[in-house]
Chains A and B, each alone.
Chain A
């Protein structure tokens, strides 16, 4: 019988096969839709996974629990337990950068990852540095100032970079770094920052030295406080610097309030010696303030003087004229400065 079958065999009719093809394709479409549907669910994490990602610190330490470093605004929840680092352990968290903070009076760092509710792949890491004083906080803030930041009015010193917000608030220096650049995430950055500031009302501490720089030609965002070893010179600590336009290039004015006029004069002398030791040559001439040293070093001009309790001067100016001009303006401002801070 099988042989008889085979001799009369013919393939199924065309209409039959077209119907089968259509149905077959429809089935493929359904399978594809199922696959897509299933794939779309995979980003809504199972509560067990969300809990798993929060880490096991919850049970061990009830008070630290999933309690956040700050009161979190709506829509944000902690993703990992809060961590604390002191002077010994800071480098465990930020490695080599620890030096910057340690030299500026660092006391403690509290950090935590905060995620957008239900989206643990979008998180913000909050770093709260307790620097001990507003000046110290300003020091680390200003030293890491990214040039391309947009100033924010959340705090006296605050700006936003592409995926982060930086600010100082009293003795705290805050860094909020987002894991991505999604807009919701960036909004959360600012609301977190506002939340932090709002929870800790403080009197705004003015940093008087900032006002002492002459305004003209000053790149506003360039004022920096270098807590130690400014310009590579040991002993030059607590130095404020500001950048000025100098023709096509730039130059830096600096000032530092010392304990006494004598201390300022001594420091000026030792800095000059330092420059001379590195090949600087004193260049005599008229200077705005008695005792000003003008030193040419490595194609640049340095001006150093002491005025009252201030050590001040110009650093890396392209020419003597520009350096002295700026120095003069600076000296004028310093003369008007209140003697008592």
Chain B
């Protein structure tokens, strides 16, 4: 064969090989990526099925009612009566404090958890040997302003707690088994990473839609997405939240209660000095007790009965033999 023909042949074979390689690559990618049936209906991301149970198994159902005008003192007395902070927080625990920082509202207006309680609780947990304390909430108003204006951010940080603002990446879908409403709904799960104890701290407030916003309604601040939709079935969502969240301890601050125009309030005229702080391990009982501060009974608040039905606690707080302390 002439050299020219050889060169041509080699060139042709080279080209043929490259062509073959392209086809092979194309065929390979097509085979890997093949999707004969197309996308299915909006498949929900695999959802978490619930939160861990933070309640102490041997703590039992305890309730303490402290009457005092000084909320920090009330907190101290209440914790003492319940066995001391050491009964709840052990050395090495990572504690999450869920506050109500819903509105960018000053502490004076009692629409949010009082910062003094946040800093005192943080201090106590750290003193009991907690490895870390986190403070979080998903406010209705802009998170940065809410935590700032309510004073909670500053209080948390200065006491040594880590403040976690609700970032997009902290929300993950959660489907509560057998629940009707909390199905594949984004929940603020990020701050729970590594947490061993959960304490809820909330003020006593009137609520236009649900009747009252207390310890159980506090967990609404763990919901993400367009959570306003749940206002269409407010009592069921509060009950499901109480069922979903099993805290170690809840603190309900009724030192100054918002009697009307809740949950935002806005005027000192909405408030009343009820000088009561309720702490306990049964959030339904705590709320039932807190209702009295607003001049309501458990029967006036359907979510209490619904939560009790779901097994989140008991509405008959008296049956827990609450410890009453005058401070």
- Do A and B touch (CB < 8 Å)? no
Q: Which residues of A contact B (CB under 8 A)?
A: none
Interface on B for A, CB 8 Å cutoff? none
